[in-house]
Amino acid sequence: MSERVAVRKTYKLFIGGKFPRSESGRSYLVQDSNVSLASRKDARDAVVAARAAVQGWAGATAYNRGQILYRVAEMLEGRREQFVALGVPADEVDAATDRWVWYAGWSDKLPQVYGGANPVAGPYFNLSTPEPTGVVAVVAPEAPALLGLVSVIAPAMVTGNTVVVAASPSAPLAAVTLAEVLATSDLPGGVVNILTGHLTETVPTLASHLDVNAIDLTGVTDADLAAELEVGAAQNLKRVLRPAPADHDWFADPGITRMTTLLETKTVWHPKGV
Amino acid sequence: MTATATSARSDLSELGRSEIALRTFLHGLPGVDQVGAEQRAAQLGTRSIKTTAKAQAIDLAIRMVDLTTLEGADTPGKVRALAAKALRPDPADPSCPHVGAVCVYPAMVPYVAEVLRGSGVHLASVATAFPSGQAPLEIKLADTRAAVEAGADEIDMVINRGAFLTGRYGEVYDEIVATKEACRGTDAGRQGRPRAHLKVILETGELATYDNVRRASWLAMLAGADFIKTSTGKVPVAATLPVTLVMLEAVRDFRAATGRQVGVKPAGGIKTTKDAIKYLVMVNETVGVDWLDPDWFRFGASSLLNDLLMQRTKLTTGVYPGPDYFTLD
């Protein structure tokens, strides 16, 4: 019997729940694999997909979103060996799985912690509640490839935002494999969209895009580029998360700032009866 | 096309007098090569139109839009807003051209007419018991007259598909002729203005075959249509590229045979700038630049305009805008 021919994998983008090649047809060689090289039009398509998903995802109950994030953790656990084979340290995979579970728990608790009744001088109930801001563009940190990516995606989406993320250009395989996890986790298409390739091609488009409501610059290491992106973001007053310091410890307790920065607060005044 | 090129002009004008002559002519038209038409349409859809050519195409497409609202829930306020948008699609950019026409139900015509008067934007009204066309002829004609009296200068009529599919071509022909006559309006109503243009909707989604589309196109043109239009937008299958290709070929051959130029209007399902540009490429390659004008080619669409405006803004400002920055209706 002849020797079996190996099935080689094509690493593609993740847009609107599908795995398309780059619109430009380009790819680049990284980690011994050919990976799609996203263009600015792929970024535009991803924003369209993310915008279309906002209504359904933000409208889902917090309980339902939490269940889906937990499901992502389950699927990631099942693919642990696959990530290890890609070169992700085992403890990083475990930390990433735990992070999904941690954020899943926050889905119906954040509004209680971060919103609530305000004491006002008048005959009113005054209630504040956090609401998702809409489409969030995210630049994932260069490393750690998996834990870093999960640590920026999960807090943005758990509250009801949809996400377009530019994955680590030097280690995109973990990101594309995470897309396969997301695609099998009951997550509606378009809630998370993953672009691989050079940051300078896709991120400026996302920063200046008027249909993007917030941008997380965590993975931007070049200070000049970060400044330029903030200028682009200022055009429609996007919420901005500044780049993370180089020595940031991704294994540490993340806190809730990543979630709260990407929220709007809605306050309601309701007249009290006598 | 050989079959029509050999027909003398005088023969064509006589066809309407007898059902048999009409049938013989329509069934004598050469059949459409379905695979060929679909392949040709798909091939023309792959052209890449960029930068300045794209900017030009977008402005042309905006000028060709028949901005349409045909809902049971239309109100005077809504159609007035739509008419205001037709005059100035992008209020932020005065260089943006106005659209070709506004298309509404007859009852809404007076409200739109107030806004559009003297602006150069045409006012189209659907008529003849749109969208089904299943009403007695007298009612269809009264519908048409009412729309013309109210100020419509373009009438979008539907053909009687029931009669067409049964093979009663004479009946369809006579209805179009009668509607064309009704488009003339009374002198009092039109006050010396020329008669309203007649667009004939073939509803290609219900005609089943490309051969039928070609026959219906010829039938409508022989009966005096100024425009042939693909669809009402009210059935699941609306305008497609191959259907429009067949209709474009028909108007091209009709002009070659008779010297009269007829316009084409694909309607329904055209939502993106990319789609619109595919149609423009097909017009240019099939019938040539004579038809690349709002007088001879229109898009029946509602959501297309916003996508055109967004692409236009991207070209002029360099950043992608979002749907939040454009009005919904």
Q: What is the DSSP string of A206-256?
A: HHH-TT--EEE-TT---HHHHHHHHHHHHTTT-EEEPPPPTT--TTS---S
3-class state of residue A13 by DSSP: coil
Active site residue B140: no
Give tens-digit pLDDT for B31-82.
999 999 999 999 999 999 999 999 999 999 999 999 999 999 999 999 999 9
Active site residue B85: no
Of B15, B35, B10, the closest CA to residue B26 belongs to B15
Instruction: Judge whether B90 and B309 are in contact, CB under 8 Å.
Output: yes
* H-type alpha helices, B88-239: 109-116, 137-149, 161-166, 169-182, 187-190, 210-222
**CB contact, 8 Å: A210 with chain B?**
yes
pLDDT of residue B37: 96
**A27-271 placed in CATH 3.40.605.10:** yes
Give tens-digit pLDDT for B43-56.
999 999 999 999 99
| Amino acid present at A19 | F
Do A209 and B324 lie within an 8 Å CB cutoff?
A: no
Give tens-digit pLDDT for B159-212.
999 999 999 999 999 999 999 999 987 665 556 566 799 999 999 999 999 999
Nearest CA in chain A to B314: A209
B6 pLDDT above the threshold of 90: no
Contacts of A235 in chain B (CB under 8 A): 319
pLDDT of residue A8: 87
Measured CA angle at A89 (ends A84, A91), to 5 deg: 110
Residue A112: which H helix or E strand, with range? helix A110-114
Nearest CA in chain B to A43: B320
> Which segments in chain A show pLDDT lower than 70?
274
Do B320 and A47 lie within an 8 Å CB cutoff?
A: yes
**CB contact, 8 Å: A134 with chain B?**
no
Closest CA–CA distance from residue A206 to any residue of chain B (Å) = 9
CB-neighbour burial class of residue A252 (10 A; exposed 0-12, middle 13-18, buried 19+): exposed
pLDDT of residue B184: 85
Interface test with B, best of A51, A55, A164, A211 (most B CBs within 10 A): A211
Active site residue B78: no
pLDDT of residue B1: 46
Closest CA–CA distance from residue A214 to any residue of chain B (Å) = 14
Given B320, B322, B323, which is nearest A205 (Cβ)?
B320
CATH fold of B2-316, please?
TIM Barrel (3.20.20)
**CB contact, 8 Å: A237 with chain B?**
no
Nearest CA in chain B to A236: B321
Closest CA–CA distance from residue A234 to any residue of chain B (Å) = 13
| Amino acid present at A35 | V
Contacts of B323 in chain A (CB under 8 A): 51, 211
Percentage of residues in chain A with pLDDT exceeding 90? 95
Rounded Cα distance, B140 and B127, in Å: 7
pLDDT of residue B190: 55
